[in-house]
Structure 1
Amino acid sequence: MPSPEDESLREMKSHFTNSHDQLDWVPLSLTLVEYPQGDLIGKFLALITLIPFAVIAGFLALVLFRRDLHTIAFLGGIVVNEVVNFSLKHTICEARPLRREVNYTEYGMPSAHSQFMWFFATYATIFVFVRLHHNNNSTVSERFWRIIIIASCMAIATLVAFSRIYLQYHSVSQVICGVLIGILVGIIWFLVTHLVLTPFFPTIVSWRISEYLLLRDTTLIPNVLWFEYTNTRAEARARSRKLVSMKSQ
């Protein structure tokens, strides 16, 4: 014969199970991507459409390890771009394509993924033209890599935008609207950063809190990648020679 404690425990389990079954479970559509079964192109584009999350992770890593004010400003632009997208979506209130309506209830105009990637591609393109150079007489190799960077950003942004149409998460008009808004916000934010924020960077890095956080300003360095490469190589060679000298003594 079951004891009163067993009966109480059974009632608690039954109550928990019933309550658990009555809950409404919804997918986190932010990271959930569906594609047609057996469609290799759809599977490839489903992976492509996750690139914005990789970009955000990369920015967080850059901010954490480089502490460069321009990178932080770039990340701030991404936040501004997302606020613009959210505001437009909840102002226009246009639903996603009907065939996706069963599973997803978020608004679709404009496409957030398309707007995000074209904001990133636009800003990166202008940055490469304006900042990423040695001088006016660029070498052939440097011009080649600048073209590769720009072409890669444009190609990836185009693939992400196309994936939103192919996977039926957005209509063509929603994607085009996202692309145009992303380009516009990217241009505006670069101008804000370059003309308004950048002049304050030297003052910001001189603050005590900035020194504590190891923040730095690389605005006056023409090609940051080349500068960091040459200085790191020179420092490594100097330390190597010093180490060899100490061992020989």
Structure 2
Amino acid sequence: MELSNSRIKLLKQLEKEILYDFKDLKILDSAFHHISKVNEQEDSSYKSNERMEFLGDSILGLVFSEYFYKKYRDIDEGELTKLKSEVVCEESFSNAAKHFNLGKYLILGKGEEKSGGRQRNSILSDTFEALFAAIYLDSNSYSTVYELITKKHINIFDNYLKINKNNYNYKAILQNYVQIKYKSKVKYRLDKSIGPDHAKVFFVTAMYNNIELEQGKGKNKKHAEQKAAKNSIEKLGIEIE
């Protein structure tokens, strides 16, 4: 199916926003074919972007896994997994989609259009995944996607994390700082727990090289550790970039 001049003009606008020029604009266009539109087509060759969503999810998961692996060199698998999950999720990707105004480019069925599909987070998140799958397919290069996300658009995700501080991984930030400045690893000492089993409060102190930083409390050890890390970050005056 040939693209109309108006569609080409619209997609060219998006290329400027995402900082990538497609060799084949049809690949970019296909990232916006929602299943609701496909169901209205008599032409069976008209495909939705669902397969691209699947591919994009895997690619973006790898991008952020590699990015955090390189950025935070001394945190364990569990912390890396948690950090990745805070970014590779519907809320984060829909936020990024809104940054690029991806709803504007969607091709929706009549029912989905009327029900506000262009602003629906689940659709926007899926579209963001499909978009970066399209970039991967057009460039035939994982490194192109990696560079776009981690060099040119990482501020979108940094700002998202700053706004959603409850999702911010303070332990990872503190560990990265201590590793670079002191070549050491942060440890967390359980000081005490109080209260009945169903409502215990845990008190934990962050430390490195036997130097005590700040204490934190929480409803479980992990929450207390995050609070201790947050309090230590504030004490040390570490700026969250």
TM-score w.r.t. the length of structure 2 is 0.29
* Bigger strand share: 2
Structure whose alpha-carbon radius of gyration is higher: 1
Higher normalized contact order (CA 8 Å, seq sep 6+, divided by chain length): 1
